[in-house]
Amino acid sequence: MEPNQKRIMDRQVYQRAESFLPWNLQHHVLNSTIFPYWTHDALYYFQSSKTGRQLIRVDLQDGKKEPILDFQDLIKALALEVKEKFDTESLPLDRFLVQENPQRICFPWQKKNWVYDLAKKSFVEITEIKPDYLPSPDGNWALQVRNHNLFLIDMLHHQDFQLTNDGMAYHDYASSPETNTHAVTQRLNGEISSPIAIWSPDFRKIITHKLDQRKVKSLHLLQNAPTDDQRPKLHTYRMSFSGDDDLPLAELMLINVAAKTITPIKAEPLLSPYLTAIEFKWVWWSEDAKKIYFLRETRGARELILCCADAGSGETEILVTETNETFVEPSTLAPWPHQIIILENKKIIWLSQSSGYPHLYLCQPGGKTAITQGEWCVREVHFYDDKNDWLYFTACGRDKNLDPYFKQLFRCRLNGDELQCLTTENAHHFISISPDKNCFLDTYSTIDTAPVTLLRKMNGEQICHLETADIGGLQELNWVPAKRFKVTARDGSTPIYGNLYFPSHFDPSKKYPIVDHIYPGPQFYRTSQHFNLYAAIFRSAWTAQALAELGFIVVHVDGFGTPGRSKQFHDAAYGQMGDCGIPDHVAAIQQLASEYHFIDLEKVGVTGYSGGGYAAARAMLMYPEFYKVAVSAAGNHDLRCYPASYGEKYNGLDVDKYESQGNAAYAGKLQGKLLLIHGEMDDNVHPCATMQLVDALIKHNKDFDMLIMPNQNHASTFDHPYYWRKHWDYLVRHLLEQVPPKDYLIKPMSREFPQLMDW
């Protein structure tokens, strides 16, 4: 080999890396995630083995397990019905329901609802799914939107009743705002959404909204390579950016089914800069269907208000108000489900960070008292057992001997006494509570140990062991488990946590380039603390593992500005989101390199997607002596051209300060190798963010590389095999200084790969 000639990487290295992508590990890792199907008496789940899957029934009383269905029998019956072969992976296990007496399983597939009788081993019901219908739970009624107006359908007598006639484009009923970050994608795919509304528990009323987007500014995407024309196509949608005068507004409406009337809720319309309150599940019915509760968020999210409306008159009262100098959220992690329980006698269980940590409070007419307190974080409130006076919730960080991100299930009295941890294993616990609230499913693991799934009573006592995940397939791939670490942040004192990922051929006597696989938050944290193929932002643990397989050490770090710790830790990025926690990443990598000599500090790369794309480019521009190579994909490089729901909440309402946090302002500092990637049809992070950075780089006469992917949106760019190949190629070429295998083709992932969130 000539002195300056680079070595060509063997294709087998890419093949090994591809094998670690999460959608390719489903056949190497068995029973890591149990999708529970609950009935009154039993828990059902699919048990996987190397020979196939079986549906298991578990008795909730004695824990007796028995197989009741071979999955292959279901596949054969389905093949007979559709008279064609199909990919069994297109039946995602997270979409099944189970019925008892008689035993049947139900699932949606190919625009139909399928009901399979386990005893008859055949389908007993196949009905067409009407995507534009919202049926009542008893099936007697349905709500539909036609030409922007509401119609009530009597399903038994096949009668239609028009409820409204004043709906129009951008001032319509039961729709989602085009700020939902996939409006153009929905249009192009011909997706039809059911009305955004909620049936009351007695099926006699419906709560929905009338959405006003008339004043929201337009945004445009130009599709340069449409499949049906040579001429580019312009796609226009309504999107509010930070600092815009007008945001979408949703006026809550109450439908009386019997009277066929619609009544406005007597309250100001709700700001909807991303999704509506109904879509967020910030609107819900009382159990007796007499009241409607809803959350109102002020612009900039500095105030959160709980309101209650009478389901007859629409009269509204305010129950709880919380304010803060930064942002107030009903949950510390996206998608921000509310953590509120309404009790009798105007008592409310409310999550607040007013103490500096997220804790539960009892709000009542006499005031607010703490139920939980201390330097630890409540994550979710599950339910209150009023008969036995037990409040059940998950939390992390209470046991100082455990990783502060490990989630556990707790219970205490309503006054906070007798606090008990019900899941004591030193691991992260994923909890699913039975509908009757008499037992729960507990799957626990760490980043480097196989998940164990137990069925437990509500006092934590084990009913039975369900599964220990089989990760033998990973061992066949010579998997080196990730290493969890703790270092100190930029301040030299605050502990921060992360993971190191290693190639299967790892040799500690060698030097390896290190890649910072970055996502800055602030609505998510990056580092997975448990073993899961599906969860965590952008499936980060296993995409990092695949990247490491190319010959890198890959690092995840959660620095200041990410959630899951104290309010002060989370607020560190407020008003200065350009920080991105990068000083903590630099400090962490330097500390790791001083401890592990296999890390080459002369070869540090960074890669990220979406908010991580912004952070990756920012790292290159702000720390050019430290980071040498970056892949920045779908980056929101300037918050002034990103939805108001994000920037205004986490960066404040003073948009004049945003300019200095845009990456274009520092384009002149670029020194290393930078690859920018963006999907041309990205209706989440508009391509203008990348193009404005490109314009600044050109003005500064900087060398960089760019890939624009036609017809790809925010999600499809990330899932595209070409994105993965070019992403890997760039880091291999410029950080490993090797020639990637030519034209390597990565197989696309299954379209039905489950997308879960467990934080």
pLDDT tens digits for 156-186?
A: 999 999 999 999 999 999 999 999 999 999 9
Query: What is the band of 429 on the pLDDT scale with cuts at 50, 70, 90?
Result: very high
Q: Which residue has the higher pLDDT, 104 or 751?
A: 104
Number of C-beta neighbours around residue 385 at 10 A: 15
- Show the CA angle centred on residue 375, arms to residues 370 and 380, nearest 5°: 65
Q: What is the dihedral of CA 90, 92, 93, 99, to 10 degrees?
A: -80
Beta strand 171-173 with 205-212 is antiparallel
Residues 6+ positions from 492 with CB-CB distance below 8 Å: none
Q: How far is residue 682's CA from residue 222's CA, in Å, rounded to a whole number?
A: 10
Average pLDDT of the residues in 568-591: 97
pLDDT digits (tens, 9 = 90+) for 618-659: 999 999 999 999 999 999 999 999 999 999 999 999 999 999
Q: Is the pLDDT of residue 2 over 90?
A: no
Q: How far is residue 378's CA from residue 397's CA, in Å, rounded to a whole number?
A: 9
Q: How far is residue 399's CA from residue 376's CA, in Å, rounded to a whole number?
A: 8
Average pLDDT of the residues in 299-328: 97
- Show the CA angle centred on residue 397, arms to residues 393 and 402, nearest 5°: 115
Q: How far is residue 409's CA from residue 420's CA, in Å, rounded to a whole number?
A: 9
Q: Is the pLDDT of residue 1 over 60?
A: no
Q: How far is residue 427's CA from residue 300's CA, in Å, rounded to a whole number?
A: 36
Angle between helices 582-595 and 611-622 (to 10 degrees): 70
Beta strand 52-59 with 291-297 is unpaired
Give the least confident one: 121-125, 437-441, 680-684. Answer: 121-125
pLDDT digits (tens, 9 = 90+) for 475-527: 999 999 999 999 999 999 999 999 999 999 999 999 999 999 999 999 999 99
Average pLDDT of the residues in 53-60: 96
What's the pTM? 0.95
The residues facing 664 across adjacent strands are none
- Show the CA angle centred on residue 571, arms to residues 496 and 241, nearest 5°: 125
Query: What's at 143, amino acid-wise?
Result: L
Q: Give residue for tokens 């680079």.
A: 6
Query: What's at 496, amino acid-wise?
Result: I
Average pLDDT of the residues in 331-346: 92
- The b/e string for 241-274 (b: 16+ C-beta within 10 A; e otherwise) is bbebeebbbbbbbbbbbeeeebbebebebbbbbb
Residues 6+ positions from 367 with CB-CB distance below 8 Å: none
Query: What's at 324, amino acid-wise?
Result: N
What's residue 758's pLDDT?
Answer: 53
Please state the φ and ψ torsions of residue 527, each to the nearest 5 degrees.
Answer: -85, 120
216 near 238, Cβ under 8 Å?
A: yes
H or E element that contains 601: strand 599-609
364 near 348, Cβ under 8 Å?
A: yes
Indicate the length of the chain as a whole number: 759
Domains and CATH numbers, the chain: 37-128 (2.40.10), 482-559+587-739 (3.40.50.1820)
pLDDT digits (tens, 9 = 90+) for 248-284: 999 999 999 999 999 999 999 999 999 999 999 999 9
Using alpha carbons, select from 747, 537, 649, 742 the residue that is nearest to residue 273. Answer: 649
The residues facing 52 across adjacent strands are 49
442 near 430, Cβ under 8 Å?
A: yes
332 near 570, Cβ under 8 Å?
A: yes
Q: Tell whether omega for the bond before 335 is within 30 degrees of 0, i.e. cis.
A: yes
Residues 6+ positions from 464 with CB-CB distance below 8 Å: 58, 63, 64, 65, 454, 455
Q: How far is residue 194's CA from residue 189's CA, in Å, rounded to a whole number?
A: 15
Chain center to CA of 124: 35
724 near 717, Cβ under 8 Å?
A: no
Going 646 to 651 to 654 to 657, the CA torsion angle's sign is negative
